[in-house]
Structures are given as C-alpha cells and as structure tokens.
Amino acid sequence: MGVGGCAAGGDEAGDPITLGAANDINPQPRETIRDGGNLRLATTGFPSNWNTLSNDGNNLEIARIVWAMMPRSFTIDAAGRTEVDKNYFTDIQLTGTDPQQVTYTINPEAVWSDGSPITWADIASQAHALSGVDKRYLIGTTVGFDRVEKVERGVDDRQAVITFKQHYAEWRGQFAGNAMLYPKSVTGDPETFNHGLADHITLTAGPFLVRSTDRTQGRIVLGRNPKWWGDTPKLDTITISVLDQNAWPQALQNKELDAAQLFSLSDVATVRGTSGLAVRRAPGPLWRHLTFNGAPGSILADPKLRVAISKAIDRQAIANAVLNGLEADPKPLNNHVFVRGQDGYRDNAPPFDPDAAARELDALGWKLNGDIREKDGRRLEIRDVMYNNETWVKVAQLIQQNLARVGVKLIIDARPGQNIFSEVFIPGDFDLAQFQWQGDAFPLSGLPQIYALNPDNKQGNFGRIGSPELNALIDRTLSELDPGKTLELANEADRMIFDEGFSLPLTQDPGNWGVRPDLANFGAAGLASYDYTKIGFTK
C-alpha cells in the first residue's frame, strides 16, 4: 500500500483517492536514481524560529525544511503504519503498562552534526521542556510529555526509559510525525529554546544540514551532512526559496522549482498544461479551517455568538468553490480531530441554518440596524485574517456573503505570509483566522495542543477558547489505551468543540503537487514520511 499510488499522477484530478490507500511520490529504488543534483523547493517565508517545538516555530513550512535534518523515532507509510527508524533507534518498545513505560535504544552510530553522540540526556531534556512544568518554555505542543513522570538512563547513555504518571495513548508520536528530537543544548534552557534558533539552526542530525542561508535573497541551501552515518543521500543539495504562494505554479513553468504544492484548480491546470511537469496527488491530513477569537474582551467572546455565526456559514458552498474539479464529490470536513479516511472520522458538524443563526443573534441582543446588527452601540463587524492567496480570499468572500445575509459585516484582511503566525495568529490579532492545520498519523496529539485551554501555555489555541470540562474530556481521551474507546471519546470531544464555537473545519486538502516527472520518492506523500536519502532524479 505504501508504494501503490504512483499511477495517480496520470489520473484526472477529480478521481477519488482515499487517505491511507496510497501516496503518489514516484517510488523508485536507490539504484535507479542518479547521484547528485539539486532539488528546488519553495516556502512562503523565512523561518521565524527553526525550533519547531516552540510556539513561534510550530509551523508546517518550517517543519518541511527541518525534516531532512532532525531525528524522528518512527517512519510512517502511506497507511499510517509505523516502523522504528533504524537510523536513529535500534529498538523502541512499550515495556510496561502499569505504570506505562517506553524504552528507547539509540543507534550507537547516531551523532549530532558536531560529532557528539545522541544520548538519553537529549530525550530527557526535551521531555522536561515540553512537560509544561516550567512556564518559561514557550512550547508549541506537549506531545504527551505533560504525562511523563520521569526519564531515566537505561543500560547506558544510548538508552532512555520514559515512565508515565498517566497513560498516553499516542506514545509512538512523541518523536515522530510532526515532532522531532532536538539536542539538549536547545531544549535545556528556556531562553535558548524560545529564541536561540530564531536566526539559524544549530546542531542537527539528519542526512542534510544547512549549508547557507540568505535572508536578503530569501534562500536556504541544505547540503549533505558529512557526519551522516546512514545511506548517502542521492541529492547533493536542497534549495528552498522564499516565494509568494501564488507564484509557485509559474515558477514550476519557468523551471525555477522542481516541486511545489498546488492549492487551486488553476494551479493544477497550469501544471497539467505545461510540458515537462506532472501532477501527483494523494490526500493527506492537511485541512483548512476558520478559527474564532474568543479571548476576553473580543467581539466573539460569547460562545453562543460564535455558534450562531457558525450556522450562517455555508461550508458546502465553500467546499464546492475550493474543491470543484479537484475532487469528484466535494464535501466539507466535519470533524476537528480526524480527517476523512482516518479511523474515527465521524460527521459531528451542525447543519448550515442561516434562519436559526438570525433567530439566535436576535435572542442574544444583536439587532439589525439597517444592514448590520448592533448591540449596546457596537456594530457586529468582524475581521477575517488570512494569508494573501487567491483561494483563501475566495473563501473569505463566500463567508462575507453568507454573513451579510444575517446582518454580520465581515472585513477581509489578507496579509503577507512572512511571520503571519508569530506576528498575527499567535498574538491573537484577528476575529476570524483562516489557515491550515497539518495532522499526521497521530491525530489525538492535536487535542491538547489546539483545543485545551491553559492560560499559562496557549500552544496552538490562538483563539483562547476552552473550558475545564473540555480539558477533562481531552485528558480522559489521551489516558484511554483501548483504541475503540479512544475513538469514541475523541468524537465526544469533537462535539464539545463544535458546541463551544471553537472553530469551523472547512475542507481537507486533496493533496496535489506539481513536480518534474523524473523526481523520485517525493511529492504527494499522504500520511507517509519522506526518506530524504532516496529523494532524487531518475537516471
């Protein structure tokens, strides 16, 4: 199943493909790939923080740069199945359940880029940093380390034994998926953790490392790591250029890029109509959504107001506009925890009902004055902030039309991509925020990261919305080791998230990439992780 999707590159864009059924990366054995070459990719902004564990660095585009350079515990195939990454760990075992205990045995050849060994102390340091105990650490996610009692040295420095004080259902995801292991020199001190990698990355331990950066030119070049102990990477270099997302298809046409994600039908049409390019497609756990700002004092602080506004937004019309031509039967995403194709996905979304929305707004005291509602002299005007991209703006325009029908004025506020998280979303400079969440094979880790409300540690809860009841339900979900019960609890949490008007899922990304046809082992990965030693160009 992990390599069965290569034919999808020739399919029409609307043909159905199920998450977890395949990926589309042109899988090729190493011997068919030429040695050398430069893979040219794009990103919308220079990393605001190379530490993806930090709140400023917890960004998919930054992670996509860092993946080639940092350790992870498991590789993941297209079906979401995990296998120990033997480059970094010779063995990872659940060695106890009461208390829960996991033993990590580190590959004795694994070293950081300065030649120092990767040891249990790196794991222990990261566990402490992400535990939430020391509030000085501005973390992006706990990944279950808030449930860890202790990390101890095993039989030697190359073994770590993690003992939990509470069960953690997704223990396999603590150093996998979108999580990575950083050296203790980064995680051992709050100031270094928060700000030490703001301008550059320090120690790494992957097949590639940073060869050069140029903020003025907007360019990052990764080269082979001379201390890498695994298979020699096929590529010589990976060059990442800062480029407005709207320009990616044109850059592919102009032979300035070798691969780029495609976000609209026009992007796909551009690539399909260009000789020397191909579209690769496999849906992944990337999804669009609308986050509400419910912080005290904000215009949307009342959950009943957020729920009423939610009912006035036609998500099916948004799905039609965004996915028409990209999927055969466009549908909105109806779950905050799982995407379609993952075990546990249920439709928990309330129906589109603008008449009910209008009645509820009336009942809340927001009365029409002309075309716009008012309450206590305040007009019901809300600002929708997003990255300045044609698809996002189209979504905003549809929402604007929907809300105008019930007397809510939406102001479209499109921003440049550079620092939009660190300077806009994380500080809460929005009433509505449009962006995408990137999940992985470990969907439950997003529950505490995004939906729990901890005033001292907001992580991904940019709207400052939540309740003690939801926190408790999330805790129960993550403590349940029975997979079936875990899925039911997660859906109970999802229904509560809808009920408090936290956010609105919009659409699951169909997973289109434009690529050079001779690029192998890269493209639409779906749930799978990349093997950066095998990416390259065919002979």
* Residues forming beta bridges with residue 251, ordered by sequence position: none
pLDDT in tens, 97-121: 999 999 999 999 999 999 999 999 9
Kindly state the average pLDDT of the residues 351-355: 97
Where are any strands of DSSP class E within 114-273?
148-153, 159-164, 208-214, 219-224, 237-242, 259-262
pLDDT for res 116: 98
> What pLDDT score does 458 carry?
81
Q: How many whole angstroms separate alpha carbon 223 and alpha carbon 396?
A: 40
Tell me the pLDDT tens digit for each residue of 420-456.
Answer: 988 999 999 999 999 999 888 889 988 999 999 988 7
Whether 261 shows a pLDDT value over 50: the answer reads yes
Closest CA to 198 of 366, 11, 13, 419: 419
CA dist., res. 393 & res. 413, Å (int): 9
Report residue 459's pLDDT band, with 50, 70 and 90 as the boundaries: confident
| % of the chain at pLDDT higher than 90 | 85
pLDDT interval class at 327 (50, 70, 90): confident
Residue range 459-486: mean pLDDT, rounded: 94
Measured in whole angstroms, the distance separating CA 7 from the mean position of its chain's CA atoms is 26
Poorest-confidence range of 15-24, 42-51, 200-209, 474-483? 15-24
The pLDDT of residue 69 is 98
For range 254-276, the mean pLDDT? 95
Q: What is the mean pLDDT of the chain?
A: 93
Q: In whole angstroms, what is the distance from residue 175 CA to residue 483 CA?
A: 20
Cβ neighbours, 10 Å, residue 538: 14
Q: Which two tokens stand for residue 263?
A: 């976000």
Question: What pLDDT is stored for residue 418 in this prediction?
Answer: 82
Q: What is the pLDDT of residue 16?
A: 54
- When pLDDT is cut at 50, 70 and 90, the band that residue 328 belongs to is confident
Q: What percent of the chain has pLDDT over 70?
A: 97
Say if residue 533's pLDDT is above 60.
Answer: yes
Residue 12 has pLDDT above 50, yes or no: no
Question: Which pLDDT value is given to residue 422?
Answer: 87
Contact between residue 233 and residue 208 where contact means Cβ atoms under 8 Å apart: yes
Give per-residue pLDDT as tens, 123-161. Answer: 999 999 999 999 999 999 999 999 999 999 999 999 999
Summarize the confidence of residues 296-314 as an average pLDDT: 98
> CA separation (Å) from 176 to 72, 147, 305, 442, 443?
5, 17, 38, 9, 12
Partners of 41 in the β-ladder = 240
pLDDT at position 166 is 95
CA distance 347 to 332: 10
Is residue 244 within 8 A of residue 269, CB to CB? The reply is no
pLDDT bin (cut points 50, 70, 90) of residue 5 is very low
At residue 8 the predicted structure's pLDDT band, cuts being 50, 70 and 90, is: very low
* CA R_g for the chain: 23
Residue 20 confidence (pLDDT):
65
Q: What is the mean pLDDT of residues 311-330?
A: 93
pLDDT at 4 over 60: no
Q: What is the pLDDT of residue 11?
A: 40
Task: Compute the distance between CA of residue 267 and CA of residue 265 in angstroms, rounded to an integer.
Answer: 5
